[in-house]
Structures are given as structure tokens and as C-alpha cells.
């Protein structure tokens, strides 16, 4: 089951269309939206579609423009940053191997939690300004210990995860104006989140998983408290 309440109806409709598009068959949903659909922790407002293969940007742009209202934000080799209708869509070649098989749920090709977690670690290492990356990491720790993501990081990016580990503790550059809307009735204070992340850094094997029978109230939306 996917938590469709984490995206707008327009996003879901567009995602369904993109997943059915033959020209996008090698692209899979990653990032915060993939995570939100799988675990239902927060609202998400953009689509990140990644492939491990090169692709022709101009050919893809022509194809998508023939089917959707497309506005270009930026085009680079193997990179398309677009607005399709009112939805922000990033289409990229991320040429690092998937660490677990891509799974398909309700027609959506989704990266695994391990792959999403290691990509979140990499994003925090490269750009530690997005508070949503730290929020996502907080919830990812409920599914696998940090040690799991560190091991996957080494395999996926063929490098030491040490710097990525340290970057989890650097919060001074975070954009605190970024809004994060949580849907789960769990601890939501920034202090509690940073405590968990710090504990994970100090003891990467610590298990933060919670009992499976603790389900949140349906459609319970909460803002992010600092």
C-alpha cells in the first residue's frame, strides 16, 4: 500500500502517467516522495526520477513536451529540471548501481529504503541546507540502523562514508524557513530529531525501530515543530 495522501492528486496523476511512459521505463522514483509514499511520514511536492543510464536530454524534452505542459528550469547533460504543470520534476542519470532491486507498487517503480537512505546521506554530505533531508533521515532510522546505510553508502559510491557520517552533525547551514508537514503522530520537535541522529552517529548499530502495531490516526497532519 502506498500513502497517497502524502502527495497531491495532480502529482499522483502525473506520476502514474510518467510511470506508464515507455520512454521513461528505465527511470525510478527516488527521494522524499518515494519515501513518503512508502512510509507516510510527510507531505512531498516534487518528483525525482533517476536512471543509472545515460539519456538524450533533447530527445526526452521533445517527447515530454508533446505530452505535457513543460517549463524548463535547467538542462544539463543527463539532467532535466522541469516544471510539468504545477509539479516540480527532476529527471537525472545517477550512474551508481541500485543496491537492492527496484520494487513496483501500484504501478510506481520505487527505489528501496536502503537506496533512498544512502542517497539522503549523500545529499546531506553534498548540501546540508535542506531540513527535509535530515527529517527523512530521522524516519529512515526507524527502518534500518545507520550502520546499514553506511555499509550501502560504501558499496554504492565506492568511497568511505566517514565524511557523510560527520555531515549528519552539521546543522548550522540548514534553512530553517523550509516548511515540512508531517503526517505521523510521532515526536516532531527538531531537538528530538537531532538527538536521535546524534545517537545514531555515536552508535551506528543502534536500532530505532518501533513496534509494528503503533499506527497513526488516519489523515492526521501535523506541522513540523522546532
DSSP-assigned states of every residue in 112-129: -HHHHHHHHHHHHHH-TT
Can you tell me the mean pLDDT for 121-142?
Answer: 96
Higher pLDDT, residue 121 or 221: 121
Residue 212's pLDDT is 57
- CA proximity to 140, closest of 30, 36, 12: 36
Region class of 24: left (phi > 0), else alpha (psi between -120 and 50), else beta: alpha
Q: Which three cell numbers stand for residue 205?
A: 548499530
Q: Is the per-residue pLDDT at 44 higher than 70?
A: yes
Cα distance between residue 155 and residue 126, in whole Å:
18
Question: Which helix H or strand E contains 47, and what residues bound it?
Answer: strand 46-51
CB 23 within 8 A of CB 127: no
Span 170-214, pLDDT tens digits:
999 999 889 899 996 754 789 999 999 999 999 999 999 976 544
**Chain mean pLDDT for the chain:** 92
- The pLDDT > 70 percentage for the chain reads 91
Dihedral angle over CA of 184, 81, 30, 180, nearest 10: -10
User: Which residues on neighbouring strands pair with residue 82, listed in sequence order?
Assistant: 72, 89
Cα separation of 102 and 81, whole Å?
23
Domain ranges across the chain: 4-110, 113-223
Distance between CA atoms of residues 148 and 184, nearest Å: 24
For residue 167, the SS3 value is helix
Where does the pLDDT of residue 21 fall: very low under 50, low under 70, confident under 90, or very high at 90 and above? very high
The pLDDT, as a whole number, for residue 15 is 99
Lowest mean pLDDT among 56-70, 156-170, 183-197: 183-197
The per-residue pLDDT for 226 is: 43
Query: 222 versus 154: which is more confidently predicted?
Result: 154
- Position 211 scores a pLDDT of 64
Return the pLDDT at 199. Answer: 98
Residue 216 has pLDDT above 80, yes or no: no
Alpha carbons 12 and 15: distance in angstroms, whole number: 5
Instruction: Look at residue 66 and give its three-state secondary structure.
Output: coil
pLDDT at 82 exceeding the cut of 90: yes
Separation CA 139–CA 59 (nearest Å): 38
CATH of region 4-110? 3.30.460.10
Amino acid at each position: 500500500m502506498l500513502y497517497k495522501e502524502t502527495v497531491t492528486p495532480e502529482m499522483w496523476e502525473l506520476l502514474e502517467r510518467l510511470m506508464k511512459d515507455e520512454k521513461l521505463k528505465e527511470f525510478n522514483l527516488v527521494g522524499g516522495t518515494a519515501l513518503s509514499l512508502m512510509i507516510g511520514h510527510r507531505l512531498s511536492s516534487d518528483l525525482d526520477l533517476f536512471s543509472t543510464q545515460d539519456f538524450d536530454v533533447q530527445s526526452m524534452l521533445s517527447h515530454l513536451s508533446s505530452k505535457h505542459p513543460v517549463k524548463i528550469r535547467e538542462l544539463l547533460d543527463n539532467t532535466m529540471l522541469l516544471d510539468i504543470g504545477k509539479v516540480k520534476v527532476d529527471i537525472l542519470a545517477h550512474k551508481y548501481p541500485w543496491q537492492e532491486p527496484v520494487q513496483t507498487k501500484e504501478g510506481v517503480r520505487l527505489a528501496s529504503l536502503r537506496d533512498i537512505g544512502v542517497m539522503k546521506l549523500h545529499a546531506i554530505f553534498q548540501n546540508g541546507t535542506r531540513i527535509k533531508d535530515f527529517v527523512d533521515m530521522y524516519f529512515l532510522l526507524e527502518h534500518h540502523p545507520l550502520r546499514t546505510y553506511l555499509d550501502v553508502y560504501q558499496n554504492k559510491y565506492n568511497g568511505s562514508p566517514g565524511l557523510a557520517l560527520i555531515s549528519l552533525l552539521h546543522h548550522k547551514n540548514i534553512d530553517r524557513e523550509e516548511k515540512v508537514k508531517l503526517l505521523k503522530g510521532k515526536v516532531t520537535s527538531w531537538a528530538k530529531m537531532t538527538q536521535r541522529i546524534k545517537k545514531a552517529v555515536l552508535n551506528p548499530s543502534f536500532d530505532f525501530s518501533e513496534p509494528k502495531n503503533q499506527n497513526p490516526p488516519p489523515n492526521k497532519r501535523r506541522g513540523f515543530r522546532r
